[in-house]
Each structure stands twice: as C-alpha cells, then as structure tokens.
C-alpha cells in the first residue's frame, strides 16, 4: 500500500542514509519512528539513529540539534501574535539549509532559521505580503 504512515516510515528508512540532515518536526513526525509520546530529547536521539545530523523543530520551543554526537538546544524567537503557522516549517528548512550551504555552523544556521520562520507567523498563508 502506498502512502500513509507506513509509506512515510518506509520512505524515511530509505532516504535517511542518503541525507546529511534530517529535519523532523516534534511531535508530528514521531509516528514515523514509532516514538509517539516521547519527550523531545528521546525523540531527538531516536531520529539520530537514522542519520548523523538531526534538527528537531519544536515550534515555540525552538529546535534541538544533534550533531557531532551531542545535543544542542537553540531557542525560538518570541512572536507577539501568531496569525498562521502555514509555511513556517518550510521557511525554517530553507533558511537552515541556506545557512549550512553558505558555511554557517549548525547552531548559527538554526538561530537564523528560527528568526526567519518567526517572521512568517504574523500573516495568513505561506506567501509573505509585498509591503
């Protein structure tokens, strides 16, 4: 059967060995690894079994990184009023990967990505307003 949770889990197992960074969301992606109900630290370590580098996105709680065999917490950027979270994860992924590709260390790339994603929360939808 294609799709569904089983398809997602099989896809993760197939692609994880080929990527440099996994970018799961907590707690939404925990079912992919059979870790429903795990706390963020346990989830991060479980995702680390799939690859050497993990950025576990935790919304308002920031991001937990697993790199160089250790965990590092990067705090979220406070947002006064959240209008819509649509596209925030995609914006985070793009900013984080752009940072890594331009030579930023993971903690700096994650901090910049947190700021970029926070900037998407003040308007409705995934496309920023022109003004």
Q: What is the mean pLDDT of residues 7-36?
A: 88
Q: What sign does the CA torsion over 35, 26, 126, 104 have?
A: negative
pLDDT for the residue numbered 72: 98
pLDDT higher than 60, residue 119: yes
For 11-15, 37-41, 51-55, 85-89, which range has the lowest pLDDT when averaged over its residues?
Answer: 11-15
pLDDT higher than 70, residue 13: yes
Query: What percent of the chain lies above the pLDDT cut of 70?
Result: 98
Q: What is the mean pLDDT of residues 40-52?
A: 92
pLDDT for the residue numbered 1: 53
Q: What is the mean pLDDT of residues 20-43?
A: 94
Q: Under CATH, what is the fold of the domain 4-118?
A: 3.40.1190
- Helix, strand, coil shares, percent, the chain, to 5: 45, 10, 45
pTM: 0.90
Could you tell me the residue ranges of all domains in the chain?
4-118
Whether the Cβ atoms of residue 75 and residue 96 lie closer than 8 Å to each other: no
Whether the Cβ atoms of residue 50 and residue 34 lie closer than 8 Å to each other: no
Each residue's pLDDT tens digit, 59-111: 999 999 999 999 999 999 999 999 999 999 999 999 999 999 999 999 999 99
Confidence of residue 15 (pLDDT cuts 50, 70, 90): confident
Closest by alpha carbon to 13, among 41, 38, 37, 34? Answer: 34
């Amino acid at each position: 059967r294609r799709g569904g949770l089983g398809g997602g889990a099989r896809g993760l197992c197939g692609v994880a060995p080929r990527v440099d960074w996994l970018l799961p969301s907590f707690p939404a992606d925990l079912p992919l690894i059979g870790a429903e109900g795990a706390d963020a630290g346990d989830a991060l370590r479980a995702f680390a079994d799939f690859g050497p580098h993990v950025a576990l996105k935790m919304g308002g709680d920031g991001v937990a990184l697993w790199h160089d065999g250790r965990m590092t917490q990067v705090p979220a950027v406070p947002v006064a009023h959240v209008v819509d979270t649509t596209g925030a994860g995609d914006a985070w992924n793009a900013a984080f990967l752009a940072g890594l590709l331009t030579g930023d260390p993971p903690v700096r790339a994650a901090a910049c990505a947190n700021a970029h994603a926070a900037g998407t929360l003040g308007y409705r939808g995934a496309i920023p307003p022109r003004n």
